[in-house]
């Protein structure tokens, strides 16, 4: 349970968690090397500017990874708080430095809320920034139970979901899921500066999505990449090997058709397919994914727009075209069978709905393959 909180570093993350804690009735004290940042955060209602009169329950060190240990040691020497955590997106190096330099490492637990925005600074802060987001805690071998409990209280106040990991495992994971994606986004965005004049007019949502995170603060991100350089370089080295193979294949495919290796196109397809299965890894981790699917089969007559009418009727049950497969129906020529893959719980209501609309429907039995995937 936290009654008083200090936030050292009133940037996006520090100010956002201060807003969340303050809204929950916690007395929050705001510190930053930039007095204007502190006053902006205070003017947003994130807390009181300046240090607390006596040690607070928990202090959050919200500074770049390379500064965590130094700032923590300074503040602990001053007796800012009884326990400490941080929010740096790299955890192993800061932990090592804290164990080596902090007056009392037992009062510290590493933390990393997985939330952020392209914009930085207190003005970008949002009280709900951490709502339902994963917030990793990385206790060291010395971390006290009290430090863990207070960090868990803060995570609760912010509406986030705690996940306890070892600092090294955390850094390997975020190298793959956060740091390398940022590098890849920057590598792509950096190319845009050298593009032909009309290129930007041909930019679509795909390019915007791939390059969105490249807009992040370059000093903060270079600090993050430096603090996790080993793990990031490891993933990038594998990516570099894939890129080299792909370039070999593309250069071959760019040459005269009669001299192309049959392997080149296969190499391109292979990379794209490995990307698609990689996305599978991601989606299986998505929360709320239906474990069990049921199939509902609907027969529709050969009338223009009949399929659209069916999909309109199923839409309000959250069943869309992405759940549908179409194949020729047995019997009457031209009729179609629409197979709808839905969460088991939905199949009953769906059956009721479509039969009520006059369509012949049932649950899927045979394994007849659909001809439209």
Long-range CB pairs of 43-46, under 8 A, 24+ apart, other chains included: 44/15, 44/19, 44/122, 44/123, 44/125, 45/19, 46/7, 46/10, 46/15, 46/18, 46/19, 46/22, 46/122, 46/125
Residues contacting residue 103 through CB under 8 Å, at least 6 positions apart = 73, 76, 77
Among 100, 203, 344, 356, binds a copy of itself (CB under 8 A): 203
Q: Closer to a copy of itself at the Cβ: 134 or 313?
A: 134
Among 295, 336, 343, 349, binds a copy of itself (CB under 8 A): 336
Residue 112 to residue 121: CA distance in whole angstroms = 18
Residue 348 to residue 215: CA distance in whole angstroms = 47
Shortest distance (Å) from residue 4 CB to a copy of itself:
16
Q: Closer to a copy of itself at the Cβ: 83 or 175?
A: 175
**Residues 25-84 interacting with a copy of itself (rule: CB under 8 A):** 34, 36-37, 39-40, 42-45, 47-48
Q: Is residue 170 near a copy of itself by the rule CB under 8 A? A: yes
Q: Is residue 233 near a copy of itself by the rule CB under 8 A? A: yes
Give the C-alpha distances (Å, rounded to integers) separating 4 from 28, 216, 259, 277, 344.
6, 31, 73, 47, 48
Residue 240 to residue 244: CA distance in whole angstroms = 6
Among 55, 104, 106, 134, binds a copy of itself (CB under 8 A): 134
Shortest distance (Å) from residue 165 CB to a copy of itself:
7
Residue 340 to residue 351: CA distance in whole angstroms = 10
Q: Is residue 369 near a copy of itself by the rule CB under 8 A? A: no
Among 204, 256, 331, 358, binds a copy of itself (CB under 8 A): 204
Q: Is residue 164 near a copy of itself by the rule CB under 8 A? A: no
Q: Is residue 202 near a copy of itself by the rule CB under 8 A? A: yes
Q: Classify strands 134-138 and 161-164 as parallel, antiparallel or unpaired.
A: parallel
Among 25, 53, 206, 331, binds a copy of itself (CB under 8 A): 206
Q: Closer to a copy of itself at the Cβ: 244 or 344?
A: 244
CB 50 within 8 A of CB 78: no
Among 50, 79, 103, 328, binds a copy of itself (CB under 8 A): 328
Q: Is residue 225 near a copy of itself by the rule CB under 8 A? A: yes
**Residues 246-265 interacting with a copy of itself (rule: CB under 8 A):** 246-247, 250-251, 253-254, 265
Burial classification of residue 105, based on how many CB atoms lie within 10 Å of its CB (0-12 exposed, 13-18 middle, 19 or more buried): buried
Phi, psi angle pair for 300, to nearest 5°: -120, 150
Shortest distance (Å) from residue 163 CB to a copy of itself:
6
Among 77, 244, 345, 356, binds a copy of itself (CB under 8 A): 244
Largest distance between two CA atoms of the chain: 85
Q: Using only C-alpha atoms, what is the Rg of the chain?
A: 27
Residue 75 to residue 52: CA distance in whole angstroms = 12
User: If binding means CB under 8 A, how many residues of this protein chain bind a copy of itself?
Assistant: 128
Shortest distance (Å) from residue 79 CB to a copy of itself:
25
Q: Is residue 132 near a copy of itself by the rule CB under 8 A? A: no
Using the contact rule CB under 8 A, the part of the chain among 76-84, 103-111, 171-179, 360-368 near a copy of itself is 171-179
Using the contact rule CB under 8 A, the part of the chain among 72-80, 146-154, 163-171, 291-299 near a copy of itself is 163-171
> Count of CB atoms within 10 A of residue 106's CB?
15
């Amino acid at each position: 349970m936290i009654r008083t909180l200090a936030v050292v570093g009133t940037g996006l993350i520090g100010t956002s968690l201060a807003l969340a804690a303050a809204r929950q009735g916690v007395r929050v004290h705001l510190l930053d090397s930039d007095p204007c940042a502190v006053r902006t955060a205070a003017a947003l209602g994130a807390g009181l500017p300046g240090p607390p009169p006596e040690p607070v329950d928990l202090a959050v060190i919200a500074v770049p990874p390379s500064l965590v240990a130094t700032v923590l040691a300074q503040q602990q020497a001053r007796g800012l708080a009884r326990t400490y955590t941080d929010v740096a997106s790299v955890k192993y190096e800061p932990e090592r430095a804290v164990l080596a330099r902090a007056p009392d490492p037992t009062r510290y637990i590493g933390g990393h809320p997985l939330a952020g925005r392209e914009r930085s600074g207190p003005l970008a802060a949002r009280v709900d920034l951490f709502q339902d987001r994963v917030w990793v805690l990385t206790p060291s071998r010395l971390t006290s139970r009290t430090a863990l409990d207070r960090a868990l209280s803060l995570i609760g106040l912010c509406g986030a979901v705690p996940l306890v990991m070892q600092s090294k495992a955390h850094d390997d994971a975020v190298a793959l899921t956060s740091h390398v994606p940022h590098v890849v986004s920057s590598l792509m965005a950096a190319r845009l500066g050298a593009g032909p004049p009309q290129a930007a007019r041909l930019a679509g949502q795909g390019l915007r999505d791939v390059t969105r995170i490249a807009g992040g603060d370059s000093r903060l991100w270079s600090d993050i990449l430096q603090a996790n350089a080993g793990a990031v370089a490891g993933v990038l080295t594998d990516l570099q090997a894939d890129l080299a193979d792909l370039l070999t294949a593309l250069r071959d495919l760019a040459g005269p058709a009669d001299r192309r290796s049959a392997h080149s196109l296969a190499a391109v397809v292979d990379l794209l397919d490995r990307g698609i299965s990689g996305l599978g890894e991601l989606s299986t981790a998505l929360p709320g994914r239906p474990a069990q699917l049921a199939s509902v089969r609907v027969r529709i007559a050969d009338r223009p727009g009949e399929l659209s009418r069916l999909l309109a009727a199923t839409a309000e049950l959250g069943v869309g075209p992405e759940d549908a497969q179409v194949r020729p129906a047995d019997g009457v020529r031209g009729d179609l069978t629409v197979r709808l893959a839905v969460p088991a719980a939905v199949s009953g209501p769906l059956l009721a709905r479509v039969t009520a609309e006059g369509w012949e429907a049932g649950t899927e039995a045979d394994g007849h393959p659909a001809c439209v995937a």
